[in-house]
């Protein structure tokens, strides 16, 4: 079985490729990535040598219909797993058109090419951010209204609806996953955890938006990868599956944990003006995927966060190339 994994040089995509090649022999993976700012070829270094013909890389923009046609003619793919996305909220506020190009137009091109070339399954990787902001109580379910707050989340919501429409209109086996905040190795340094770790290691200020009390639901990236595999193999077409680890934490507490692990002073924290449209709280109800597909997270933040911090400590050469 061969998978087309788009955005496979990004954080979650590269971890997914490593996960699938390690745990599901003899899966074959074709990785497509445009290598924009968050797509880093170093994230998949060594895979071709380690896995041989089971892994290949194709440098392309998913919004290029001719290239996607060329690729899908080359192989008979069982499924497309679409990670490809511009995903940094601050950048979407400054330049929303790039997010529409990749997240909406690119998804449309992939869906159409997959339909015409007989690809059986299409897994659309989305985010809990499409639901907008929660109050102090409750959790997002798959039935929660989609009310995005940023150009990024709006583009992802649009892509989700487009994917689900392809199921209703053409019968394409589309499944959508919406996951909470991920952490782990190979995450682009603009994201909260690597940014805080890297700044602390360099004794630079740690910028925290607003009062730092925005709450996120955190999940270790390998647990997310396992959930995607469960949905890929057994998810019901036309359905949405929320993925979360029931690990809510406000940003300030998270930063304190990072500083404590590194032995750095809290005085490095610098509160900065809050981001426009900054959602106050996210929390995911993942009972559907747990009940229907038997998935559950295996990593606790008490162990996985220190291990993640230690990865960035041990891999300075990786992130120093990305940090000005």
At 220-264, the pLDDT tens digits run 999 999 999 999 999 999 999 999 999 999 999 999 999 999 999
- Across the range 272-296, mean pLDDT stands at 95
**Residue whose structure tokens are 């890929």:** 232
Q: Of 51, 55, 152, 220, which one is the catalytic site residue?
A: 152
pLDDT-derived band of residue 88, with 50, 70 and 90 as boundaries? low
Instruction: Write the CB contacts of 220 (distance below 8 Å, at least 6 apart in sequence).
Output: 182, 183, 184, 245, 297, 299, 301, 304, 308
Scanning the chain, the segments in alpha helix (DSSP H) are 11-23, 47-51, 65-74, 89-94, 96-99, 107-116, 151-170, 192-201, 221-234, 251-262, 287-293, 301-314, 316-320
Q: Which two tokens stand for residue 215?
A: 């709450």
Q: Which two tokens stand for residue 192?
A: 């909260």
pLDDT-derived band of residue 101, with 50, 70 and 90 as boundaries? confident
Percent of the chain's residues with pLDDT above 90: 88
CA end-to-end distance (rounded Å), the chain: 41
pLDDT confidence of residue 56? 97
Query: Is 129 labeled as catalytic in the residue annotation?
Result: yes
Cis peptide before 26 (omega within 30 of 0): yes
R_g of the chain, CA atoms, integer Å: 19
Query: Is 274 labeled as catalytic in the residue annotation?
Result: no
What integer best gives the mean pLDDT of the chain? Answer: 95
Between CA 133 and CA 191 the distance in angstroms is 19
- Yes or no: say if 95 and 88 are a contact pair by the CB < 8 Å rule: no
pLDDT-derived band of residue 25, with 50, 70 and 90 as boundaries? confident
Q: What is the largest CA-CA distance in the chain?
A: 57
- Yes or no: say if 305 and 194 are a contact pair by the CB < 8 Å rule: no
Nearest to 157 by CA among 168, 166, 145, 167: 145
Instruction: Write the CB contacts of 263 (distance below 8 Å, at least 6 apart in sequence).
Output: none
pLDDT confidence of residue 270? 98
Query: Is 128 labeled as catalytic in the residue annotation?
Result: yes
Give this prediction's pTM: 0.96
Q: Of 33, 86, 129, 222, which one is the catalytic site residue?
A: 129
Among the CATH numbers 2.40.50.140, 3.90.1150.10, 3.10.450.40, 3.40.50.720, which is that of 2-188+218-247+278-299? Answer: 3.40.50.720
Nearest to 92 by CA among 149, 16, 163, 35: 149
- The DSSP symbol for 24 reads S
Q: Of 27, 128, 160, 279, which one is the catalytic site residue?
A: 128
């Amino acid at each position: 079985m061969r998978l087309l994994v788009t955005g496979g040089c990004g954080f979650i995509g590269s971890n997914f490729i490593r996960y699938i090649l390690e745990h599901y022999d003899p899966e074959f993976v074709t990785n497509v990535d445009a290598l924009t700012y968050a797509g880093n070829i170093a994230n998949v270094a060594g895979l071709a040598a380690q896995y041989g013909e089971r892994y290949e890389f194709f440098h392309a923009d998913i919004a290029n219909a001719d290239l996607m046609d060329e690729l899908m003619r080359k192989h008979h793919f069982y499924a497309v797993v679409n990670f490809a996305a511009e995903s940094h909220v601050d950048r979407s506020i400054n330049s929303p058109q790039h997010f529409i190009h990749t997240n909406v137009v690119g998804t449309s091109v992939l869906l159409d090419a997959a339909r015409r070339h007989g690809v059986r399954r299409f897994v659309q990787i989305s985010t809990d951010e499409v639901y907008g902001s929660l109050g102090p109580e409750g959790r997002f379910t798959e039935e929660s209204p989609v009310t995005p707050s940023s150009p990024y989340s709006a583009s992802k919501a649009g892509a989700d609806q487009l994917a689900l429409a392809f199921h209703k209109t053409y019968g394409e086996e589309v499944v959508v996953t919406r996951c909470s905040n991920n952490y782990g190795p190979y995450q682009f340094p603009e994201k909260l955890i690597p940014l805080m770790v890297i700044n602390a290691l360099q004794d630079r200020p740690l910028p925290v938006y607003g009062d730092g009390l925005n709450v996120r639901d955190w999940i270790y990236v390998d647990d997310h990868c396992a959930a995607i595999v469960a949905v890929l193999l057994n998810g019901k077409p036309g359905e949405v599956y929320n993925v979360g680890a029931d690990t809510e934490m406000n940003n300030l507490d998270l930063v304190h944990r990072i500083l404590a692990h590194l032995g750095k002073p809290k005085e490095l924290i610098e509160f900065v003006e809050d981001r426009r449209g900054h959602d106050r709280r996210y929390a995911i109800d993942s009972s559907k995927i747990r009940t229907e597909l038997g998935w559950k997270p295996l990593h606790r933040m008490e162990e996985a966060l220190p291990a993640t911090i230690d990865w960035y400590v041990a891999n300075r050469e990786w992130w120093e190339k990305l940090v000005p």
